[in-house]
Structure 1
Amino acid sequence: MIKYAHYFYNQFRDLGLSRDTSKYLNMLVLLIITIIVIALIDLGLRKILRVVSAKIATRTKSNFDDLLITNRVPRNVAHIPALYFALYSIPIVFKDFKNLHTFFEKSIQIAGIILGLWIVRSLLNTLKNYFKTLPRLRDKPIDSYIQVFMIFAWILGAFLAIAVVVGGASIWEFITGFGAATAIILLIFKDTILGFVASIQVSINDMVRIGDWITFDKYGADGDVIEINLATVKVQNWDNTITTIPTYALISDSFKNWRGMTNSDGRRIKRHMLIKQTSIKYLTTEDIERLKKIEIISTYLTTMQDKITQYNTTHNVDKSLLVNGRNMTNIGVFRKFIQTYLEQHSAINKDMLLMARQLQPTSQGIPLEVYCFSKDKRWENYEYVMSDLFDHFLAAVPYFELELFELPTDTVFKQS
């Protein structure tokens, strides 16, 4: 093809034009022809690949080829022949212009590197979208790995571009000098490096998945993880706000992941009531007979009363004082009432831990804690179940002649 480099030059010379003018006009005509051919090749291949890829996509069951089209992989690949033709035409168009030859040749080579990066980016985005459709990979931090590969691709592309500009012999000197700037590079890409390491640890240790409910007090996050990438983790809070957390914070700070609860058979209810210590007392026979009217503990009271009476009689206990021998207390019976009520409640999971327990006494009273698990783990239903339980327990407190602790109000001071 080089023999056609002076075809138009000869035609212009035959017309009587000067040598320099003929050279410039020859280059201009060849350049116009080359641009037209490049445009036709590019446009034609894009249409052909678009039609062919669309037909293939409709005939296959996999959605991978559909994602290739969505991310414009065929369209980007279609530019390669046109770019190759442009590179092949440079020696012909600029045969008599060495400086322009060198400039355009390097420019097209750099354009080829950029096109290669663009194709790699399209392929990586296609893989990212495809992996997210796979059930076993849907909750993995795919974005982080894709971003890491893309960063390495851009760095490699930058080195290749520099090699084209400065020449192949000088690129090694550049790489050697680049090592001296490693500290600066590490400082600039600190968050990226930390995020990359964190993404690997998060994935390997299965600390967080997309869709997990996490609570991160330091960053004010309380909601579902919607995205994990190289630098950040996005959490959609329950008020629909978005909190962005640095990925490396997941391994450097403490946070709570509620996945164990959502995967279990129940959601924990753990709440206590503060009982005034002065309201606690032994139960007399009259008190026991009155409490027997509470159906769910009637049998328990009868059985315990018989056992206690038998024990005290056997050991000849002086019952002129209630403190002697064995006795029931109002707080103990109330605790049994709570336990029995929980065991009979349809919304409580009986196969998981269930108890009503007394905690360490405090200056505000004795905490009587309910510890059980709701079958329904959905937030609104869980709150309803817990509120329903404590509505009943709080209303039942006076029946056992117990009192709840609360700080004095203006009404108390006015009455006194």
Structure 2
Amino acid sequence: MDTLTKLGLLLLGAWIANFIVKKVLLRGLLNLISYTPVGKDRQAIERNIVARLANVVPALVIAFGITSVPNLVEELTIVVTNVCYAFIVITIARAISGTLTIINMLYERQPDAHERPIKGYIQVAKIVIYAVATILMVAVLIDKSPVILLSGLGAMAAVLMLVFQDTLLSLVASVQITSNDIIRVGDWVEMPNLNADGDVIDIALHQVKVQNWDKTITFIPTRRFISDPFKNWRGMQESGGRRIKRSLLLDQQSIHFLTEDEMNAVKRFRLLKDYLKDKQQEIDEWNQQLKDEGKEPVNTRRITNIGTFRAYVKKYLENNERVHQEMTLMVRQLNPTSDGLPLEVYCFTNTTAWTEYESIQSDIFDHLLSILPEFGLRVFQHPSGIDMREMTRNLNQTGTKDSS
């Protein structure tokens, strides 16, 4: 009866201590914390770090009070005491882990936090804390010194290296990513071999989370950003301009010298007035040096429709307010192919927004494709079924006329 009475008093004392700490002291402490910036943060309060630490008090009451209960088996007293100490260790470890989570959460709210994330380091610290807590708990439960357990870890080093291989590699990769500023949260990265093409939304110790443009999520091991090639579009986003690099495939049979009528027609273009004047003056000076040989048209220089069109495209881009004028801007011919002569437009838009960029690019080529006939040029395309039917119809009509 004496044993049961004191055991009941011990449990009652632990409950009273728990009640006083959580209902009185903890509530008062939370009221004081509420006046601080951390206390006003709902996410920080929901971590319940102080409430977790309050659980240590009843555990201490039981651990120290169990020895005063008479007639208990010594082994039972030791087991209860050790379990209470192990509970205290894991409670403190969880509280420290919660504190680190709050630190990372507050750090991520800083304006430049995405440039140097610390989530990987926080996760490493948590691993160390729980590893130490595990060693201490085992040492307490078996009633042995932690030094004895640590001395046995040397023999298990190879096993630990194998078990924590991914963690160690990810830690090294995280350090290199952060120190070299390889990727940040918000960067647009492209890694075709892993089907990743989108924005980085999270950088953790073991993996980087990328949200693709189709709204799917790709999880990439952190170390792959060190070992595998990938493209980071951050430079484009920071420059303020996005490149347009597209070609018009021109039918080479439509290229020719401009006739007198065609020259008068292109002089109507406001953008070509200065070009035609300077080009004609340059050609006239060149042809005057030929003297008698200049009487033959084959020996003289003349204005071509493709050269005039190329000059028009360049002037059109230079006068387009949606084209970045401080970046590279040129119109050039590429090597002729069996699909026509590529005339490449190379310039940059004054925005990096995807939808606006595509709209600007489409507007430019809508205009160029529509204006081509004014220069006597045609785009090249492979014959379709309609083309073959028209050709057959023309041949039939020609044969009918010849027979008649």
Q: Distance in 1 between matches of 2:44 and 2:37?
A: 14
Give the drift of 1:126: 1.0
Q: Equivalent residue for 2:99?
A: 123
Q: Equivalent residue for 1:221?
A: 196
Is 394-403 or 204-213 further displaced after alignment? 394-403
* 1:139 and 1:211 in contact (8 A); partners too: no
Is 178-187 or 222-231 further displaced after alignment? 178-187
The RMSD of aligned alpha carbons is 2.2
Match of 1:42 among 4, 11, 18: 18
Q: Does 1:370 align with 2:370?
A: no
Q: Equivalent residue for 2:372?
A: 397
Percent identity of paired positions between Structure 1 and Structure 2 = 35
The one-character-per-residue Cα deviations of 1:29-52 (angstroms, maximum 9, x if unpaired) are 222222222122123212335433
Match of 1:136 among 109, 112, 116: 112
Q: Equivalent residue for 1:406?
A: 381
Q: Equivalent residue for 2:317?
A: 342
* 2:271 and 2:315 in contact (8 A); partners too: yes
Is 187-196 or 390-399 further displaced after alignment? 187-196
Match of 2:175 among 182, 187, 200: 200
TM-score, length basis structure 1: 0.87
Q: Does 1:285 align with 2:268?
A: no
Q: Distance in 2 between matches of 1:164 and 1:392?
A: 80
Q: Distance in 2 between matches of 1:156 and 1:342?
A: 65
* 2:244 and 2:349 in contact (8 A); partners too: yes
Give the drift of 1:64: 8.0
* 1:141 and 1:199 in contact (8 A); partners too: no
* 1:128 and 1:142 in contact (8 A); partners too: yes
Q: Does 1:312 align with 2:309?
A: no
* 2:246 and 2:346 in contact (8 A); partners too: yes
* 2:242 and 2:350 in contact (8 A); partners too: yes
Q: Equivalent residue for 2:276?
A: 301
Change (3 A) 1:149 1:61: closer
* 1:143 and 1:228 in contact (8 A); partners too: yes
* 1:68 and 1:74 in contact (8 A); partners too: no
Q: Equivalent residue for 2:124?
A: 148
1:28-107 → structure 2 map (5 Å cutoff): 28-61=4-37, 68-93=44-69, 96-107=72-83
Match of 2:211 among 187, 211, 236: 236
Match of 2:362 among 379, 387, 409: 387
Give the drift of 1:173: 4.6
Is 157-166 or 100-109 further displaced after alignment? 157-166
The one-character-per-residue Cα deviations of 1:106-128 (angstroms, maximum 9, x if unpaired) are 11111111111111111111111
Q: Distance in 2 between matches of 1:271 and 1:94?
A: 90
Change (3 A) 1:305 1:211: same
Q: Distance in 2 between matches of 1:238 and 1:70?
A: 33
Q: Does 1:162 align with 2:125?
A: no
TM-score, length basis structure 2: 0.90
Q: Secondary structure at the match of 1:211?
A: coil
Q: Secondary structure at the match of 1:303?
A: helix
Change (3 A) 1:260 1:48: farther
Q: Distance in 1 between matches of 2:172 and 2:165?
A: 11
* 2:258 and 2:305 in contact (8 A); partners too: yes
The one-character-per-residue Cα deviations of 1:51-89 (angstroms, maximum 9, x if unpaired) are 334433442346687654231111112122222222211
Q: Distance in 1 between matches of 2:189 and 2:38?
A: 34
Is 212-221 or 146-155 further displaced after alignment? 212-221
Give the drift of 1:207: 0.9
Q: Secondary structure at the match of 2:344?
A: strand
Give the drift of 1:174: 3.7
Q: Distance in 1 between matches of 2:134 and 2:38?
A: 35
* 1:216 and 1:256 in contact (8 A); partners too: yes
Give the drift of 1:314: 3.2
* 1:49 and 1:78 in contact (8 A); partners too: no
> Aligned AA for 1:35?
L
Give the drift of 1:326: 2.6
Q: Secondary structure at the match of 2:210?
A: strand
* 2:14 and 2:62 in contact (8 A); partners too: yes
Q: Gapped runs of 5+ residues in structure 1?
A: 1-24
Q: Equivalent residue for 2:396?
A: none
